Structure 1
Amino acid sequence: MQTQQSFKEHATGTLYLVPTPIGNLEDMTFRAVNILKDVDLILAEDTRNTQKLLNHFEIETKQLSFHEHNTSERIPEVLGLLKQGQNLAQVSDAGMPSISDPGQELVKAAIEEHLTVVPLPGANAGLTALIASGLVPQPFEFYGFLPRKPKEQKDTLAELKNSPIAIIFYEAPHRLTKTIKNMLEVIGPDRQVVLARELTKRYEEFIRGNLQDVNEWISENEVRGEFVIILDRNLNPEVEDQSWEKLSVSDHVDFILKTEDIKTNEAIKRVAKLRGLAKQEVYQIYHNLKES
C-alpha cells in the first residue's frame, strides 16, 4: 500500500502531468502555464511542437525529448533528476499525457520509487467529443486507437459490438475510411455513431448518424484532421448461446474451433471471456497442463 500527499514538502522533486490544448491555445489553463514556467525541465513528446506552445506563452523552461521510442532509456535519467530534487513537467503534443500518448510507463516507474506525481486537469479530445455527441454520455468506455491490422481490428470490434455503453475511439484521417467500413461490416449499418474532427479548431465538425450514413459521408467528402469516433451503446445485444455450460473447458474450446474459422489461441481467449477465467488458465487446461 502507498499513500501520497501531493502538496506536502518532499525531499525529492515532483513530476507534474500537464495537459496541453488539443487545438485552441486559449484552452491552456493559468495553472498549466505557471507550472511549465516554474519547473526545472519539461519532458516533451516532440520538442519542436512543444516549443511553439512555450513561445506563445513566453515560457523559457528547457525541454528534454520523451516519446514512445526513447521511453526505456529516458526513464532512469528522469527518475535520477527527480531524486535530486528537480521538479519536472511531462507533456504530450496535445491533450492528456498517458491517454493514447506517452507517459504511463514513467508514471508507474515514479510511483514505484515513491516519487510524487501530480496531475493537472485539462483538455481531452474524447470527453470533449462525448459531451457534444448527443449520445448517452455515461457510463462510457474509452478505447483509443483500434489495432491497425484488419483482422485484429475486426476481432476487437466483434468483442465490443455488444457493449451496453458508448465507446470512444481515436483514429487518424488516413485510416478512418477502413475503420468505418470494418465497423459497418462487423456491427451493421444501423448503429448510431458520431465523428468529431478538428476539435476546438476553426474547422471543428461533428458528423452524426448511423454507420451507413457516416460511411456515405466519408465517400463523398475529403477526410482531413484527427478524428474521435463515438460508437453508441448496443440497445439490443446478442445473447450468447449458453449451451457450452454443459461442456468441459477443453470441449468448449474444441466446439468453438469446429464451428468458427478461428485459431486455437483465439478460441481459448473466447472461452476464457465467456467463462470468466484467465486466458492462461484455459490454455493450461486445454493443453493438459492443468486439470479441468
Structure 2
Amino acid sequence: MSAQLYVVATPIGHLDDITYRAIEVLKSVKLIAAEDTRTSAKLLKHFSINTPLTACHDHNESDKVNHLVERILAGENMALISDAGTPLISDPGFKFVRAAQAKGVQVIPVPGACAAIAALSAVGLPSDRFSFEGFLPSKQSQRLLHLNRLKDETQTLIIYEAPHRILECVKDMADVFGADRPVGFAREITKTFETIKKMTLGELVEFISNDSNQQKGEIVLVIGGASVEKDMEQEKLDQLLTRLLQDLSVKAASQLAADLTGIKKKIAYQRALELSDKA
C-alpha cells in the first residue's frame, strides 16, 4: 500500500496561525516539497522540524513530480507546502497533486491559513457566493479585457495583486466596474502593518494614491458583485422567472425574461439557474 501526500497550509504572516496537526504532519513525513526551500527552512527551524526539504516550484514541477510520486509509491509519506498559506491557491502544486492522484496516491488536505478566505471573512461583503480570480494579467490591455469579462458577475470577486501594480489595477477596476463599486482592501493580513478597509473603488484609488505605504506588501482585493439592473427589482425578476420556469427550460425562461424586462441575458440566466436548483 502506498504512502500519502499531505497538502499542508502554513501561516501567511503570523507564525501562531499554524495548526498543531500541520506541525505533527511536517515532523512525521519523510520529505517536504516546498515552493522555496530557503523560505520554508525558516518556518521549519522555528518549530524545530528537521524533515528534509526539496524544491518544487513553477520552474521544476513538471520535471520533478514523477520522481516524487515514485518515492510516495515506494512508501514515503510526503508533504507539500508553499511559501505561505494554502498550496495550489495561486501557488505551485497542482501538477504534483494531479500526478499523485493519477497513480492512486491518497492526497490529504491539512487545512489552515488562506489569504483569500481571510480577507473575505473580514471585509463585510457578501460571502455566500464568490469567485477567486487569482492574479490579473500584468499587461493593461489584457487586464482590461479580463475585467470586462467580469464586470457583470453578480458574485463577490477575490483578486490578488502585486504591490507595484496595485494602483494601476484599482484604477482599471474603477474604470470598468464603476467608481462606486464596493471593494474590500486587505493588505499584509496577520502581519505587523495589517490594513483591512472597505470603501468604493473610487475611494480606494484616492487612498492608495495618497499613501505609498499602501502600495507595499501582500494585497487581496475583494470586490462586490454587479447589482441586478436598477429598473428591475430582484423580487419581481424572481417572480417572473419562477413562473416561466414552470413551462420553459432555464435557457428559454432567461431569454424571455431578458426580452420582456431589458435585463441582461447573462444576469437573467444566472438567476434562473439558481432558482431551478432550489426548485
> In the alignment, what sits opposite 1:236?
228
Deviation at 1:207, TM superposition (A): 2.5
Please show how residues 197-276 of structure 1 align to structure 2 within 5 Å. Answer: 197-222=187-212, 223-236=215-228
> In the alignment, what sits opposite 1:185?
175
Amino acid at match of 1:230: V
- Which runs of 4 or more aligned residues in structure 1 lie more than 4 Å from their structure 2 counterparts after TM superposition? none
Deviation at 1:236, TM superposition (A): 3.4
Structure 2 residue 14 is matched with structure 1 residue 14: no
User: Contact 1:190–1:210 (CA<8 Å) still a contact in 2?
Assistant: yes
Distance in 1 between residues matched to 2:176 and 2:189, nearest whole Å:
28
Amino acid at match of 2:44: L
Q: Secondary structure at the match of 1:55?
A: helix
> In the alignment, what sits opposite 1:165?
155
Change (3 A) 1:12 1:238: farther
Distance in 2 between residues matched to 1:97 and 1:134, nearest whole Å:
25
Distance in 1 between residues matched to 2:230 and 2:223, nearest whole Å:
17
Amino acid at match of 2:173: M
Structure 2 residue 113 is matched with structure 1 residue 123: yes
User: Contact 2:90–2:135 (CA<8 Å) still a contact in 1?
Assistant: yes
User: Contact 2:123–2:197 (CA<8 Å) still a contact in 1?
Assistant: no
Structure 2 residue 21 is matched with structure 1 residue 31: yes
User: Contact 1:45–1:93 (CA<8 Å) still a contact in 2?
Assistant: yes
Count residues in correspondence: 232
User: Contact 1:19–1:96 (CA<8 Å) still a contact in 2?
Assistant: yes
Distance in 1 between residues matched to 2:83 and 2:117, nearest whole Å:
17
User: Contact 1:41–1:64 (CA<8 Å) still a contact in 2?
Assistant: yes
Please report the RMSD computed on the Cα atoms of aligned residues, expressed in angstroms: 1.6
Please show how residues 29-68 of structure 1 align to structure 2 within 5 Å. Answer: 29-68=19-58
Percent of residue pairs identical: 42
Q: Secondary structure at the match of 1:167?
A: strand
Distance in 2 between residues matched to 1:174 and 1:34, nearest whole Å:
37
Distance in 2 between residues matched to 1:237 and 1:100, nearest whole Å:
33
User: Contact 1:165–1:233 (CA<8 Å) still a contact in 2?
Assistant: yes
CA offsets per residue over residues 202-223 of structure 1, 9 Å max, x none? 1111132111100001110011
Change (3 A) 1:238 1:149: farther
Change (3 A) 1:238 1:96: farther
User: Contact 1:14–1:117 (CA<8 Å) still a contact in 2?
Assistant: yes
Deviation at 1:101, TM superposition (A): 0.3
Deviation at 1:79, TM superposition (A): 1.1
Distance in 2 between residues matched to 1:89 and 1:79, nearest whole Å:
11
Amino acid at match of 1:90: L
Distance in 1 between residues matched to 2:46 and 2:155, nearest whole Å:
40
Distance in 1 between residues matched to 2:74 and 2:128, nearest whole Å:
43
Structure 1 gaps of 5+ residues are: 1-10, 240-272, 277-292
User: Contact 2:119–2:220 (CA<8 Å) still a contact in 1?
Assistant: yes
Structure 2 residue 59 is matched with structure 1 residue 69: yes
Change (3 A) 1:87 1:237: farther
Deviation at 1:105, TM superposition (A): 1.0
Q: Secondary structure at the match of 2:205?
A: helix
Deviation at 1:225, TM superposition (A): 0.9
Change (3 A) 1:224 1:33: same
Task: Return 27-36 or 149-158, whichever deviates more.
Answer: 149-158
> In the alignment, what sits opposite 2:133?
143
Amino acid at match of 1:56: H
> In the alignment, what sits opposite 2:254?
none
> In the alignment, what sits opposite 2:97?
107
CA offsets per residue over residues 129-168 of structure 1, 9 Å max, x none? 1111111111111111111111111111101011111000
